[in-house]
């Protein structure tokens, strides 16, 4: 019995689809393309995966500079205009661009019928902590200064972006500022100190994170700061008075325990937290929703959560 069945407050999916097993093998092969490559070479490979994708009909993509931070608006034709979704992409704080994030941002916009702002925060090791956090906060503050109701803002992040979304709210809370209406985390990286059992237990089965551990080094982002700093590893933060939180994660993830322990801590602090663990799924599987049934269902449930938040 795995640890997801020992806690009755955790929702978990049924058995993985046959198709997902095939896709997992393909993803593992694709991840191996970055093996033994330098960080710059890996960045080029991942950027090439995103290249050439056309913006689908019904969406408008606009570049924008927000207080010196390069961002991108994804605006659906059928924009409800009810919320502002701020998306913080993953990539271990060392990879990821507006281009690589665009495809998933469009899917989030499609499922929610809301506009999505993708934040092109600065990357490590060239710009270590607190650069990414400063950029995220700058963008958030810009909206608040525009008299946007904080409760109408939803922060969404996957992997490192999930950790960054949590750190952003922890920083806002620490400074007594208005908090967003909700936070959505997909496979969030919350413990850069890697103290969870899944960091070793799932190292060989996670087809994404398990293949790039030589590139995704916590020290690249933390630099000389402690890995237990809550603004670097949000697992160690104070979650009292935190906004509603939704977390989706897969059982085959290296950082599965980052989600389970975070949800436990938030729940104990009285946060309205929902955690769903997807059996047989890997790191940030939701972002493969265009080809994966479980990814589609995950994004559908995330969309429903966002649209329920008021």
pTM for the structure as a whole: 0.94
Q: Does the pLDDT of residue 2 top 50, yes or no?
A: no
The CA-based angle 127-128-129, given to 5 degrees, is 130
Q: Is 141 designated active site?
A: no
Catalytic residue among 31, 187, 198, 283: 283
pLDDT digits (tens, 9 = 90+) for 235-273: 999 999 999 999 999 999 999 999 999 999 999 999 999
Q: Is 253 designated active site?
A: yes
CB atoms within 10 A of CB 104: 27
Catalytic residue among 159, 233, 259, 303: 159
Q: Which domains does the chain have, with CATH numbers?
A: 11-308 (3.40.50.1820)
pLDDT digits (tens, 9 = 90+) for 118-138: 999 999 999 999 999 999 999
Catalytic residue among 136, 253, 259, 303: 253
Residue showing tokens 């998933």: 104
Structure token pair of residue 63: 């570049």
Residues 6 or more apart whose CB falls under 8 angstroms from that of 55 comprise: 61, 102, 106
For residue 3, what pLDDT band results from cuts at 50, 70 and 90? very low
Predicted pLDDT at 33: 66
Q: Is 283 designated active site?
A: yes
Query: What is the C-alpha separation between 278 and 2, in angstroms, rounded?
Result: 12
The 3-state secondary structure of 49-107 reads HHCCCCCCCCEEEEEEEECCEEEEEEEECCCCCCCEEEEECCCCCCCCCHHHHHHHHHH
Q: With beta carbons less than 8 A apart as the criterion, state whether 234 and 247 touch.
A: no
């Amino acid at each position: 019995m795995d640890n997801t069945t020992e806690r009755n407050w955790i929702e978990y999916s049924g058995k993985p689809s046959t198709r997902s097993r095939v896709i997992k093998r393909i993803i593992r092969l694709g991840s191996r393309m970055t093996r033994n490559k330098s960080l710059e070479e890996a960045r080029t490979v991942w950027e090439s995966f995103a290249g050439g994708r056309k913006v689908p009909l019904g969406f408008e993509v606009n570049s924008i500079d927000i207080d010196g931070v390069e961002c991108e608006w994804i605006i659906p034709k059928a924009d409800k205009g009810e919320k502002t979704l701020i998306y913080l992409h993953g990539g271990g704080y060392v990879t990821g661009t507006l281009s690589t994030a665009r495809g998933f941002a469009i899917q989030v916009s499609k499922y929610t019928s809301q506009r999505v702002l993708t934040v092109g925060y600065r990357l490590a090791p060239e710009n270590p902590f607190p650069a990414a956090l400063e950029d995220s906060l700058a963008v958030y503050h810009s909206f608040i200064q525009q008299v946007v109701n904080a409760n109408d803002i939803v922060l969404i992040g996957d992997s490192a972006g999930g950790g960054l979304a949590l750190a952003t709210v922890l920083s806002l809370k620490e400074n007594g500022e208005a908090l967003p209406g909700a936070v959505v985390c997909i496979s969030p990286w919350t413990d850069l100190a890697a103290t969870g059992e899944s960091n070793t237990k799932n190292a060989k089965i996670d087809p994404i994170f398990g293949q790039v551990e030589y590139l995704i080094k916590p020290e690249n982002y933390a630099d000389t700061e402690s890995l237990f700093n809550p603004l670097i590893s949000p697992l160690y933060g104070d979650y009292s008075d935190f906004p509603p939180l939704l977390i989706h994660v897969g059982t085959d993830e290296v950082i599965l325990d980052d989600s389970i322990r975070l949800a436990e801590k938030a729940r104990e602090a009285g946060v309205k937290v929902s955690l769903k663990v997807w059996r047989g799924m890997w790191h940030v599987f939701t972002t493969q929703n265009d080809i994966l049934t479980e990814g589609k269902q995950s994004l559908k449930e995330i969309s429903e959560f966002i649209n329920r938040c008021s």
